[in-house]
Amino acid sequence: MLTGALIGVIVAVTMMAINRSTAKAGTGFPGQVEQAMRGKSAMNLKDISVLVGRDSFMGRGKVVQALAGLQSAGKVKMTPAPPGTPQLEKVHAITYEVVG
């Protein structure tokens, strides 16, 4: 059981590192998301997903991972939801914008 948890943690950390490095280099799916967002105003997750053609449940997950990598690389700025926003509505209120 401990071995499975350890393997899961290692895989998660490795995927985060790979995602961040591709975002920093501007390649792969994070690079596509960045290029699609460039020159546009702040958008929420649904708008970005539609923009890159991944408007399914799994597609939005890939977009979130790409945005996380871009945000950790300093290429995307996230504006959090206003205080008091219901938890299930935060995904619609959080906006992302390309920096620089």
Q: In percent, how much of the chain has pLDDT > 90? A: 79
Poorest-pLDDT segment among 10-19, 43-52, 75-84: 10-19
Rounded distance, CA 67 to CA 50, Å? 14
Full-model pTM: 0.83
The reported pLDDT for the residue numbered 21 is: 84
Confidence of residue 14 (pLDDT cuts 50, 70, 90): very high
Which residues does 29 contact at the CB level (< 8 Å), separation at least 6?
22, 62, 66
Higher-confidence residue: 90 or 24? 90
The reported pLDDT for the residue numbered 25 is: 83
